[in-house]
Amino acid sequence: MASGIVRRLMTRHGASTFRGRSRRSAALVTFAVLLSAGGTGAAESTKPVAPALEQRETDATYNSYRLRSGEAIEQLRLHYATLGSPHRNAAGEIDNAVLVLHWTGNSGASLLTPEYKASLFAAGKPLDASRYYLIFPDNLGHGRSTKPSDGLRNRFPRYGYGDIVDVQHRLVTETLGIRRLHAILGMSMGGMNAWQWAEAYPDQVGAIMPVVALPVPISGRNLLWRRMAAENIRNDPEWKANAYTGPTRGYAVAQQFIRLMIDGVPHFQTTIPTVTAADAFIAGIAKPTPSADPNDILYSLESSQDYDPRPGFSALRMKVFALNFEDDEFNPDRLQILQQAVKTLPNARFVVQAGSPDSYGHLTMAHPALWAGHVGAFMDWIEGRPNKAGSH
């Protein structure tokens, strides 16, 4: 397996579980990668880019866009990038489109780093851009799409994950003319969006791969950090009743807290052995980027409150390949939530990849070199190819 050594294989009710230990290390990603608009967390390569990896970026615009709440956005701008080219079948329909979805507080740019391209989208990789048409939206409220910091601040309409998925659906079907997605790969919030796609638009997506995303409402530790981060921002005197002039101190404290939660315990134990190392770590995340906006992250965090894919869960028939990381403290594997949920689906598999000093807990999602082999297994499965990783 490209992302680790299989330590355990267990099959039950059609669900396959693997625990792999990665032997590859990756550079530490600062929390700015998670919250700064458009941050990539990696230096751009100066090497020549293969034609299929040349990304194209543009905006889709939807006038008088109405959210599920009934509120409207006068002009909704959705920025997106693509890799590869659409392929049309005998009926003239695009049949190779894969939607790739980012996590909370970031943008599609976080999925177009040199590491992501080299691990997943380069020639011969699981989502080879010469074979697939890859779509990377900046979700509503994120990146270069319409968001509170564009001017409305707290007068911006409240949106939820359901709205994020609806706008993605409009991009795919109306703007790009895709009747049915071949697959969706989503990380964290993007993985939750993938679960929602499967429920809301089951006939318009062939298969989903949610990464570090559970198919249950956000609760427990994953809910607490969101509420604590929001309260840190709102209770800071620099907030000034929404009249702030830049990133606030409360925003910086929220960054530190979330960064503590999002990384892996084994990784911290190895990389922060002294007070000096701890202070250097804190200093590295203490200052938000100038473009970081408190309202953008507040809206992003609170948009998760409508997330609940359970009502249509039992009806899912598409192929589902869910991936979690054992050292993810947001979605603790010891609770067995993923295992209990997936075993009720007739066409689903899941993987829990073991943590190690070289992995990053929930943040392992930002290091696809550590788990690309599972994406390969997913694509082999939905394409009907023999699985090199032994997962079938």
Q: pLDDT, tens digit, for every residue of 178-220?
A: 999 999 999 999 999 999 999 999 999 999 999 999 999 999 9
**Closest to 133 (Cα-Cα) out of 78, 194, 88:** 88
Residue with tokens 């990038």: 81
Contact 205, 198 (CB under 8 A): yes
SS3 assignment, position 339: helix
Residues 6+ apart with CB under 8 A from 140: 76, 78, 146, 147, 159, 163, 164, 167
Domain ranges of the chain: 5-383
Q: How far is CA 114 from CA 27, 117, 118, 370, 374, in A?
A: 12, 5, 6, 14, 19
SS3 assignment, position 362: helix
Query: How far is Cα 56 from Cα 123, in angstroms, rounded to an integer?
Result: 18
Query: How far is Cα 81 from Cα 278, in angstroms, rounded to an integer?
Result: 37
More confident residue, 388 or 215: 215
How would you label 306-320 residue by residue, b for 16+ Cβ within 10 Å and e otherwise? bbbbeeebeebebbb
List the structure tokens of 22: 């990665």
Strands (E), the chain: 5-12, 15-21, 56-66, 72-83, 97-101, 133-137, 183-187, 207-211, 319-325, 348-353
Percent of the chain with pLDDT over 90: 66
Confidence of residue 28 (pLDDT cuts 50, 70, 90): very low
Query: How far is Cα 238 from Cα 207, in angstroms, rounded to an integer?
Result: 45
- Helix ranges (DSSP H) in the chain: 32-35, 114-116, 161-170, 189-200, 220-234, 249-262, 265-271, 275-285, 294-302, 337-342, 372-383
Write the pLDDT tens digit of every residue in 29-86.
333 344 433 333 333 444 555 677 899 999 999 999 999 999 999 999 999 999 999 9
User: For residue 129, with 0-12 CB atoms within 10 Å meaning exposed, 13-18 middle and 19 or more buried, which class applies?
Assistant: buried
Among the ranges given (8-17, 141-150, 240-249, 366-375), the one the predictor scored with the smallest mean pLDDT? 8-17
Fold (topology level) of 5-383: Rossmann fold (3.40.50)
**DSSP 8-state secondary structure symbol assigned to residue 203:** G
